[in-house]
A = this chain, B = another copy of it.
Amino acid sequence: MTVIDALAGRLRAALGPDLVVTDRQELRTYECDGLAHYKVIPALVVLPQTTEQVAAVVRACVDCEIPFVARGSGTGLSGGALPHADGVLIVTAQMRRILAVAPADERAVVQPGVINLQVTRAAAPHGYYYAPDPSSQQICSIGGNVAENSGGAHCLKYGFTTNHVTGLEVVTPDGEVVRLGGGRALDPPGYDLLGAFVGSEGTLGVATEVTVRLTAVPESVRTLLAAFHGIDQAGAATSAIIAAGVVPAAVEMMDALAIEAAESAVACGYPPGAAAVLIVELDGPAAEVAAQFDEVTRLCGANGAFEIRIAADDAERQLFWKGRKSAFAAVGRISPDYIVQDGVIPRTALPEVLRRIDELAAANGVRVANVFHAGDGNLHPLVLFDDAIEGAAARAEVASAAILDLCIEYGGSITGEHGVGADKAKHMPRMFTDDDLDTMQLLRCAFDPGGLANPGKIFPTPRLCGERPGRRQAGDNRWPGVEVF
């Protein structure tokens, strides 16, 4: 009997036979997440329904030295929920209860498998919603959002998942159940382990209960679409809006190629001849929105917008967003294959970086469509290629990686909201020094000395936790009397 067979038996006894999947065909269902070109079939899948069951699974994995990976809805774009071939995949799809909605404390408490949009639906009768809005919000899970610190178009004003999670119940990598954060009250004392856990991509444990902040539904929402003849002008308008002290709910930008793709897919009717469009949305008290909306309109005009449309009603507002929201899928209409990149730059560097991306595209013989959260400086360049043409995929990869180098060169980051996962671990040394990475590994090894929690993600070269990183060498005991590890 293999170790996996023994483990499967132990888990069936603990969870019941229906919650443990061992059939090869069924296992194949879980072979990838949203980054579908990475595929690994897990050795076992479990579908726990309670915190105690998750803890039992983790303890069994630790006893058998088997890696484990948690998965929500599997919509992530960095391969963070990519299974381990010799490991257990912990799927939270059966942990979908909303445990509390408490509008007077502006909080909800949910299980990790709850879908992002369900939180908003539960809070809506009280005049509240859950602010972070990944494009996948109709299907992605809160647990997955916690793991990847997910963003969305409206995170410019409202912040990322980490700004909306105020408490967690977590199963640590040794199977203990602990609580992090203040929940319904202000932050508790001690280290901000809650903050460190959000965005840790499954490497510090499995969240089993999540307390989230609820946000009051704004009295008013107003949206405009501004078209520009040059992308520099759209970038300058974005900087001018922020420098004026206005914080829109969203500032989204699309370039000519992205607009072309969106038009061909959903006929959104953006102004013809636009080299770039900005979608700017303001929300808040009606009086505030009215005052600031005038200012934003003025700044778009002053920075060269040749057409500004103001959504007259919710239907027109949805039409503005339709083009933006369909953009990723729409590029399939103009290119057989594409890579979605995710990088960040300081907002003020936008025009210059976009010019350099153009040069990179030309030099590598690929086309790049740019769709991005301009207010955040969070770029989503789509590198288009045709896999049927020999060498095209490789050139696209080169261009895509070069865009990340650009982001780093301008003081930005290799990911804004999709995470590092399996996909970008190799890029981490381009952004961080050895000392920086060693310092992160101190945290990982403290929580997971056995290296069983989602191994192979985030870090390019997993360190054996027995060795202490840094300048120290074996035998170089700088703390006599304390065991150096």
Q: Which of A286-303 contact B (CB under 8 A)?
A: 286-288, 290-292
Bound Cα distance from A133 to B198, whole angstroms: 27
Bound Cα distance from A200 to B412, whole angstroms: 26
Q: Which of A28-36, A179-187, A327-335 contacts B (4 or more CB under 8 A)?
A: A179-187
* A293 CB to nearest B CB, Å: 10
Bound Cα distance from A176 to B471, whole angstroms: 9
Residue pair B419, A458 in contact (C-beta under 8 Å): no
Known A287-B288, A471-B176; judge A449-B479 contact (CB<8 A): yes
Bound Cα distance from A200 to B195, whole angstroms: 13
Residue pair A412, B186 in contact (C-beta under 8 Å): yes
Q: A348 in the interface, Cβ–Cβ < 8 Å?
A: yes
Q: A281 in the interface, Cβ–Cβ < 8 Å?
A: no
Bound Cα distance from A345 to B433, whole angstroms: 42
Partner of A344, one of B186, B292, B465, B482: B186
Q: A339 in the interface, Cβ–Cβ < 8 Å?
A: no
Bound Cα distance from A238 to B356, whole angstroms: 52
Residue pair A424, B189 in contact (C-beta under 8 Å): yes
Partner of A413, one of B178, B186, B195, B347: B186
Bound Cα distance from A176 to B444, whole angstroms: 18
Measured CB to CB, the nearest residue on chain B to A179 is B436
Q: Which residues of B contact A63 (CB under 8 A)?
A: 478
Q: A402 in the interface, Cβ–Cβ < 8 Å?
A: no
Q: A223 in the interface, Cβ–Cβ < 8 Å?
A: no
Residue pair B466, A482 in contact (C-beta under 8 Å): yes
Q: Which residues of B contact A286 (CB under 8 A)?
A: 291
Interface centre among A178, A242, A244, A419 (most CB of B within 10 A): A178
Q: A314 in the interface, Cβ–Cβ < 8 Å?
A: no
Q: Which of A358-380 contact B (CB under 8 A)?
A: 376-378
* A38 CB to nearest B CB, Å: 17
Residue pair A185, B412 in contact (C-beta under 8 Å): yes
Residue pair B186, A191 in contact (C-beta under 8 Å): no
Q: Please encode chain A, from 442 to 485, with 1 for each CB lying within 8 Å of some chain B CB and 0 for all others.
A: 11111101110000001000001110101110000011111111
How many protomers of this protein does the assembly include? 2
Q: A106 in the interface, Cβ–Cβ < 8 Å?
A: yes
Q: A284 in the interface, Cβ–Cβ < 8 Å?
A: yes
Bound Cα distance from A243 to B104, whole angstroms: 6
Q: A65 in the interface, Cβ–Cβ < 8 Å?
A: yes
Residue pair B105, A347 in contact (C-beta under 8 Å): yes
Q: Which residues of B contact A285 (CB under 8 A)?
A: 288, 291-292
Residue pair B485, A413 in contact (C-beta under 8 Å): no
Q: A51 in the interface, Cβ–Cβ < 8 Å?
A: no
Q: Which of A417-435 contact B (CB under 8 A)?
A: 419-420, 424, 428, 431-433, 435
Residue pair B288, A239 in contact (C-beta under 8 Å): no
Partner of A376, one of B176, B186, B348, B414: B186
Q: Which residues of B contact A193 (CB under 8 A)?
A: 196, 439-440, 443
* A484 CB to nearest B CB, Å: 7
Residue pair B450, A191 in contact (C-beta under 8 Å): no
Q: Which residues of B contact A436 (CB under 8 A)?
A: 178-179
Bound Cα distance from A465 to B107, whole angstroms: 37
Q: Which residues of B contact A198 (CB under 8 A)?
A: 192
The 8 A-B pairs of least Cβ separation, nearest first, read A288-B288, A216-B245, A195-B195, A287-B291, A446-B446, A442-B446, A287-B287, A466-B483
- 25 sampled A-B residue pairs with Cβ under 8 A: A62-B478, A65-B480, A162-B195, A174-B470, A174-B472, A176-B470, A184-B411, A185-B377, A186-B377, A186-B378, A186-B416, A187-B413, A188-B432, A189-B458, A190-B428, A191-B199, A192-B192, A284-B288, A439-B447, A442-B446, A449-B468, A449-B482, A451-B482, A465-B482, A483-B485
